Amino acid sequence: MPNLRIASRYAKSLVDLATEKGALENVYADMQFLKAVTGASKDFVNLLRSPVIKADKKQAIINAVVNGKTGEITTAFIKLLINKGREADLPEIIAAFIDQYNAVKGIHIVQLTTAVEVDDTIKQRLVSQLKADTGFTKVELQSKVNPDLIGGFVLEYNNNLIDASILRDLKDIKKQFSTNLFVHNIR
Amino acid sequence: MVEIKPDEISAILRQQLSNFNASADLEEVGTVLQVGDGIARVYGLNNVRSGELVEFENGTAAIALNLEEDNVGVVLMGESTGIKEGDKVRRTGKIASIKVGEGLVGRVINTLGEPIDGKGHITGELYEMPIERKAPGVIYREPVKEPLQTGIKAIDAMIPVGRGQRELVIGDRQTGKTAICIDTIINQKEFFDAGKPVYCIYVAIGQKASTIAGVMKTLSDNGAMAYTTIVAASAADPAPQQFYAPFAGAAIGEYFRDTGRPALIIYDDLSKQAVAYREVSLLLRRPPGREAYPGDVFYLHSRLLERAAKIINNDAVAKNMNDLPESIKHLVKGGGSLTALPIIETQAGDVSAYIPTNVISITDGQIFLEGNLFNAGIRPAINVGISVSRVGGNAQIKSMKKVAGTLKLDQALYREMEAFSKFGGDLDAATKLVLDKGARNVEILKQPQYTPFSVERQVAIIYLGTQGLLREVAVKKVKAFEDHFLLEMTNKLPDVLAEFKKGNLPDDGVKKMVELAKSLIPQYK
């Protein structure tokens, strides 16, 4: 189970420090870069989690991977993580940092899943409707395509879910029929 | 088989489809972090409340029990197979509840209220009753004053149980705990036949499914299923279902109680329920206490047993009862009762273990069963000395109270002297008298299974016993005499028995009865 408590604590310290030094945007960019790295290479995450590999070796590998592409604060932060033996939690810490960054900036991440690719005008209409309904000012829309939905869309934000997909409707109908109230009467 | 027309089927389908809501609502969701051992950790579900029902994607229900800083611990009410990390969990906004109604009578259901006896769905109007509900407050109660006849001579005479009482049945394995409770249910047939049924609920927790099937067969063979509901959470059901089963049973009992009718609930047994609760608590990482039970295991049982109550016989007051569910508000009547007979199994007679002491202190008395009495052929194997009923005395009918008043003390004295007399030696006349009477009373109080005695017959035979009128009868022939005597009584003096039943002890009736007994005694010397 991911250790969310540790992730949020490290992320908070990083957000606080970056804000204090006025380098929040730079650190955010670094985190996006690290997120891309961890997301792209499963081997890299496995390496971080491996208890067999020594700390100095991990440090060397991270240095080689990152190769001076990150700022001063981020480099120091990674060093701290390795010193504390928490490098295994890096992916969760990155996610927690991005969440906290969004919270600071008032950005709401909205995940839109559709069965087929939709064009920007529809997305814009969705976003403006959502803004009107919820009072969000900044919305970052992430869209995904999942053909299993058959039709309709699924909108997800802040642990809220609007499921208007055909898949969901079919599931609900299936459930309705699975509790067959009438078999008894027929028999 | 009933003929089905095609349009009937499509009508059914249309009805089912019309219930279907195609519009999408805003739902609050969380994500599964970890699942296993019947519990799941969920991230998200920000506004979920403790005790709320949540639902997984595959339709499995769960109850949120632990609200922590960064996750929610939920216990699954179904199988954990098919749930994986990352699955969505939805809030339902409902508190865990079951659907209760008249249709439940005669059925076997599980903790969720679903029928498991293969007799189809529950018919009739059903009302939503919360599984966890606060017990009625002081002003909605009244003291226990009506008897709940168990049909067992030893209990009705010496440890009487009243309607609304909580009487613990405690003892080792194989001492007849369940038998006493089943006999009590069977004895309520008399009231069912008279049109004033005492609704019975038998909650089986962590038992073998074959045992539960056996109980059901016994009850239906004796015509007792007509007013009984069985709530079954067998050993194969998930632990949360096992520890919620008594609460589900109590919800059914409360339905009868709050609609002004008497109900009897049997929890068989609470030690297994405590074990199931311990399992869930440990998996949720709650700190263990004595015997590894969690700190709130006392509250688990006290809040359950507190729901047994005698409701005030005043409709206007009863209607304002606290925590009444919305669904039955219009049906509420006063004067109902819920009597609880919890069962606790001890290990090698150890009543000072954690759970037995807890439940002894919560209940209004206990019926203590002993293995060595059972093996000595004294069945029901009730140890009279340490069994008590703290409130039931007020509930005894007058005739029984007069007749059996001294029986308990007599028997306790007899037990003491019996042990003493085993050393041999000469006994004085007074001691001999006590021993003679005691030995015959023990015979009278013996009773085979599934043969409940109506209260008037109990009064008749116990009168003879306590008055020492059986001195002449040989100890071995007491049983035969009793059968003969009671047969003659029902045939020759039915009016006297009727008076006993009303609570009277008329002098001339008693005289006639004693004469009848005396005429029979010579045959059994």
Does B177 lie in the same domain as B137? Answer: yes
Structural domain count of chain B: 3
Q: Would you say residue B37 lies in a domain?
A: yes
Going B22 to B26 to B32 to B37, the CA torsion angle's sign is negative
- Does B92 show up as a binding residue in the annotation? no
- Does B211 show up as a binding residue in the annotation? no
Distance (Å, whole) CA B36 – CA B452: 47
As a whole number, the mean pLDDT across chain A is: 87
CB contact set of B169 (below 8 Å; sequence gap of 6+): B177, B180, B181, B341, B342, B343, B344, B366, B367, B369
Does B108 lie in the same domain as B72? Answer: no
Q: What is the ipTM of this complex?
A: 0.81
Does B249 lie in the same domain as B219? Answer: yes
The shortest C-alpha distance from B17 to chain A (Å) reads 7
Please answer whether residues A42 and A124 qualify as being in contact, where contact means their C-beta atoms are separated by less than 8 angstroms: no
Q: At residue B157, what are phi and psi to the nearest 5 degrees? A: -85, -40
Closest CA to A21 of A65, A59, A76, A69: A76
CA distances from A9 to A5, A17, A88, A100 (A): 6, 12, 15, 11
Does B355 lie in the same domain as B247? Answer: yes
The residue among B43, B59, B94 that closes a domain is B94
At B420, which CATH number? Answer: 1.20.150.20
* Residues A84-102, mean pLDDT to the nearest whole number: 91
Closest CA to B157 of B441, B478, B520, B524: B441
CB contact under 8 A, A182 and B12: yes
CB contact under 8 A, B27 and A164: no
Residue numbers in chain B where pLDDT is lower than 70: 1-9, 11-13, 16-17, 19-23
Residues of A in contact with B23 (CB under 8 A): 164
At B90, which CATH number? Answer: 2.40.30.20
Does B265 lie in the same domain as B230? Answer: yes
The residue among B374, B395, B416 that closes a domain is B395
Nearest to B27 among A160, A172, A184 (CB): A160
The shortest C-alpha distance from B144 to chain A (Å) reads 42
The predicted structure's pLDDT at residue A19: 92
- Which one of A161, A169, A170, A176 makes the best mutation probe of the B interface by having the most chain B beta carbons within 10 Å? A161
The predicted structure's pLDDT at residue A181: 56
Q: Would you say residue B496 lies in a domain?
A: yes
The predicted structure's pLDDT at residue B20: 66
Residue B367: enclosing H or E segment and its boundaries?
strand B365-369
Does B23 lie in the same domain as B163? Answer: no
Residue A1 has pLDDT above 70, yes or no: no
Q: Would you say residue B129 lies in a domain?
A: yes
Q: Is A163 on the interface with B (CB under 8 A)?
A: yes
CB contact under 8 A, A187 and B17: no
Does B388 lie in the same domain as B412? Answer: no
Does B172 lie in the same domain as B307? Answer: yes
Strands B26-36 vs A160-165: parallel, antiparallel or unpaired: antiparallel
Closest CA to B312 of B142, B520, B133, B518: B142
CB contact under 8 A, A5 and B70: yes
The predicted structure's pLDDT at residue B9: 66
* Residues A126-146, mean pLDDT to the nearest whole number: 89
CB contact under 8 A, A186 and B121: no
Residue B158: enclosing H or E segment and its boundaries?
helix B153-158
* Residues A17-30, mean pLDDT to the nearest whole number: 92
3-state secondary structure of B160: coil
- Which one of B4, B13, B26, B99 makes the best mutation probe of the A interface by having the most chain A beta carbons within 10 Å? B26
Higher pLDDT, residue B6 or A73: A73
Does B475 lie in the same domain as B375? Answer: no
The predicted structure's pLDDT at residue B2: 53
* Residues A95-121, mean pLDDT to the nearest whole number: 91
Does B420 lie in the same domain as B385? Answer: no
CB contact under 8 A, A173 and B24: no
* Residues A170-179, mean pLDDT to the nearest whole number: 79
CB contact under 8 A, B21 and A172: yes
Catalytic residue among B41, B390, B457, B471: B390
Q: Would you say residue B141 lies in a domain?
A: yes
Distance (Å, whole) CA B144 – CA A152: 62
The predicted structure's pLDDT at residue A185: 53
Burial class (CB in 10 A: 0-12, 13-18, 19+), B166: buried
- What chain A holds in terms of domains, given with CATH numbers, is 4-103 (1.10.520.20), 107-178 (3.40.30)
Q: Is A166 on the interface with B (CB under 8 A)?
A: no
Q: Would you say residue B517 lies in a domain?
A: yes
DSSP secondary structure string, B93-144? EEE-EEEE-GGGTT-EE-TTS-B-SSS-SPPS--EEEESS-PPP-GGGB---
N- to C-terminal Cα distance for chain B?
A: 63
* Beta bridge partners of residue B288, listed in sequence order: B294
The residue among B94, B116, B148 that closes a domain is B94
Express as a percent the part of chain B with pLDDT over 70.
96
3-state secondary structure of B364: coil
- Concerning whether B91 is annotated as a catalytic residue, the answer is no
Does B302 lie in the same domain as B189? Answer: yes
At B188, which CATH number? Answer: 3.40.50.300
The predicted structure's pLDDT at residue B210: 96
Q: Would you say residue B1 lies in a domain?
A: no
Distance (Å, whole) CA B410 – CA B107: 43
From A4, which residue of chain B is nearest by alpha-carbon distance?
B70
Nearest to A177 among B16, B88, B121 (CB): B16
3-state secondary structure of B284: coil
CB contact under 8 A, A1 and B33: yes
Please answer whether residues B62 and B32 qualify as being in contact, where contact means their C-beta atoms are separated by less than 8 angstroms: no
Neighbour tally for A95: CB within 10 Å: 18
Residue-number span of the structural domain to which B43 is assigned = 6-94
3-state secondary structure of A66: helix
Tell me the pLDDT band of A169, cut-offs 50, 70 and 90: confident
Please answer whether residues B385 and B391 qualify as being in contact, where contact means their C-beta atoms are separated by less than 8 angstroms: no
Q: Is A148 on the interface with B (CB under 8 A)?
A: no
Q: At residue B424, what are phi and psi to the nearest 5 degrees? A: 85, -165
Q: Is B5 on the interface with A (CB under 8 A)?
A: no
- Does B175 show up as a binding residue in the annotation? yes
Nearest to A173 among B20, B23, B34 (CB): B20
- Does B446 show up as a binding residue in the annotation? no
Q: Is B340 on the interface with A (CB under 8 A)?
A: no
Does B236 lie in the same domain as B155? Answer: yes
